[in-house]
Amino acid sequence: MMMMMMMDTHAFFSLSLSLSHLPFPKFGVIRHHNNNKHASSSYNPHSDNKDSVVSLKEICEGHVPKHVLKRIEEIGYVMPTDVQRQALPFLFSGRDCIIHAQTGSGKTLTYLLLIFSIINITKSSVQALVLVPTRELGIQVTKVARMLASKPIGFQQDQKSCTIMPLLDGGTLKRYKSWLKAEPPTIVIATVASLSQILERQFFMLESVRVLVVDEVDFIFNSSKQTSSLRKLLNSYSSCNNRQTVFASASIPQHRRFLHDCVQQKWTKSDVVHIHVSPVEPMPSRLSHRFIICDTKRKLETLLSLIQSDAPESGIIFVGEQSEKSKKAGNSPSTSLVCDFLKASYQGSLDIFLLEDDMNFNSRAASLLEVRKGGGYLLVATNIAARGVDLPEMSHIYNFDLPRTATDYLHRAGRTCRKPFSDMKCTVTTIIVPEERFVLQKYENELMFNCEEVIP
């Protein structure tokens, strides 16, 4: 199923997380092949997955406090997912883990259960730290953590409970500072930038942190802004005693190097476990893929005519992020351009929403809330805007811009179509200029899917 890592390679973890060499190499790690027909049923907490007679509660008993176990049942987590079944025993035994599994596979609950097994709420110190790449993901993780921490029905309410602090970009340092001073939270969920500020000013010390989780680690490592801060943090944490480190991600390109570097840099202990679940067919099978070639100048019209002929029930249009240069030049981001164009030219019945990364959180939340309420909509977003946000089901995904990496393609496509038993089919259409055909072909090879050309 999985194996301790044994690495003797020499290469340094490459920060260009290109998938080109090894989407899923055969050596170093024994992968978990998820080819039984019950595979997808492990998503469903209520399914009677015959392969797993052991419940989540049973796996956690003796490690996770009773009130949390009661909460997971109340919330409806009954059977473990593959990730939980494989990772939790290692995690409870104190091993460091790299949890490498698709979006929706239950990684968040896995590391939160570890955290709840370790923290001691009678102690007044920050004992667990979860690092996330975006504010939105931070908000989601905080929500799940608080849901687990809240007292179940019938439990004594007067006991001290675990406090959880989201330390996310956009909050004010002053507020965090007084909170940390007044009563240190037990669990901190932080973006890298905010955490670095807090640590620099020594508002709390890493020494007290018993578990460090880095979620969506590939994403953090691929952002030059966040990488150096993360490295610094990992290096400081490596000298702490009594530590446990978990990396989680849907994709870890060049993961053998990553494992090697984790050990060499002492970011993890040397017996780190790599849990790699079901990467054999990473692309959800309910997706079909198409591409259409056109000139840059005709991309908007092409998009419009695709939408008109597809008549989606609902769809998302992914647009590339605006470059710093274009921002400085005062240009509108492509998301707004696409959105404005559609608002002006699209004649169908779907509502058009913008989900933009620079948008303040309230309007982003409001825009998603709108989307969830009703049926037909077209959502215009960047990868970043969509990362960490629970997207509604879509019938169509459009890549207005070619994703920059195969991983990004997978993330975009895998963002919707997540519900375990929905049989909604979803079509992913990528609009490319002629020179981009080979890049898309590369993604197809790497991720093992087929893209059919749409001839206009």
Ligand X SMILES: *[C@@H]1O[C@H](CO)[C@@H](O)[C@H](O)[C@H]1NC(C)=O
Residues that bind ligand X (CB under 6 A): 16-18, 120, 122-123, 222-224, 404-405
Select 108 or 254, whichever has its Cβ closest to ligand X: 254
DSSP SS3 for 330: coil
Select 67 or 85, whichever has its Cβ closest to ligand X: 67
- Residue 114 CB, nearest approach to ligand X (Å): 16
- Residue 125 CB, nearest approach to ligand X (Å): 9
Q: Which of 63, 441, 64, 7 is nearest to 257 (CA)?
A: 7
> Could you say which DSSP state residue 277 is in?
B
Instruction: State the Cα–Cα distance between residues 152 and 110, nearest whole angstrom.
Output: 19
E strand or H helix at 292: strand 287-293
- Residue 293 CB, nearest approach to ligand X (Å): 22
Select 11 or 366, whichever has its Cβ closest to ligand X: 11
Select 16 or 159, whichever has its Cβ closest to ligand X: 16
Q: Which of 363, 456, 370, 442 is nearest to 409 (CA)?
A: 442
Select 120 or 228, whichever has its Cβ closest to ligand X: 120
Select 17 or 109, whichever has its Cβ closest to ligand X: 17
Q: Which long-range contacts (CB under 8 A, 24 or more apart) does 434-442 make?
A: 434/293, 436/402, 437/291, 437/293, 439/402, 440/291, 440/402, 442/20, 442/406
Could you give phi then psi for residue 247, rounded to 5 degrees? Answer: -110, 140
Select 31 or 257, whichever has its Cβ closest to ligand X: 257
- Residue 422 CB, nearest approach to ligand X (Å): 31
- Residue 37 CB, nearest approach to ligand X (Å): 36
Q: Which two tokens stand for residue 153?
A: 């029905």
Instruction: Evaluate whether 126 touches 207 at the Cβ level (below 8 Å).
Output: no
Q: Which of 447, 14, 4 is nearest to 257 (CA)?
A: 14
- Residue 78 CB, nearest approach to ligand X (Å): 27
For residue 8, count CB atoms less than 10 angstroms from its CB and return exposed for 0-12, middle for 13-18, buried for 19 or more. exposed
- Residue 341 CB, nearest approach to ligand X (Å): 25
